[in-house]
Amino acid sequence: MFIEPSYKGENRGWIEVICGSMFSGKTEELIRRLRRVKIANLKVEIFKPAIDNRYSEGAVVSHDSNEILSTPVRSSQNILLLSQDVDVVGIDEAQFFDEEIINVCEILARKGVRVIVAGLDMDYKARPFGPMPQLLAIADYITKLHAICVKCGNIANISYRKVPQDSQVLLGEKESYEPRCRHCYYEGENI
């Protein structure tokens, strides 16, 4: 369980990264943390990539249908422009952002902002996904979540793509992906 740090009133920022496979609860955990800071009356801005409109245009939505209002942005630079005078910034689906998201998170943290980022650490080929490896490297706190393998019931850390599509980005849900453990993933056709 993640324990939020306390700096005894000092205005220090940091970066938290929540990662894992699809269906591991990343967005659910992001929403949970953001709701807690809202209860504490902290000023929060929440962003998601404009490309991700699977459930909603203007909200971050988990697979369990929990949601929190957000601002869709086309570029990570827009996050800097739209997050003035905030205490906390939440970013969902970070793997879809451009590489500049790394600098954006660093700039915000240096300004004293708590930055909470969620995203897939690996793509469907079990390779590091987008800017996530660099975000994990600069993170102060990392939470890696796991799903349950649909084939054997062990912990799953890879998003297995069920449809024949070669592009790295394919927005989908249960019709396109399922969580698998390493063993069951490599028994499949994704390699």
- DSSP run (H or E) holding 36: helix 26-39
**Does 175 qualify as catalytic in the annotation?**
no
Radius of gyration of the chain (CA): 16
Which residues lie closer than 8 Å to 81 by C-beta, 6 or more apart?
Answer: none
Which of these is catalytic: 29, 45, 93, 178?
93
Distance CA 112, CA 44 (A): 13
> What is the three-state SS of 118-186?
EEECECCCCCECCCHHHHHHHCCEEEEECEECCCCCCEECEEEECCCCCCCCCCCCCCCEEEECHHHHH
User: In the chain, what are the helix, strand and coil shares in percent, each to the nearest 5?
Assistant: 25, 25, 50
SS3 18: strand
* Residues with catalytic roles: 93
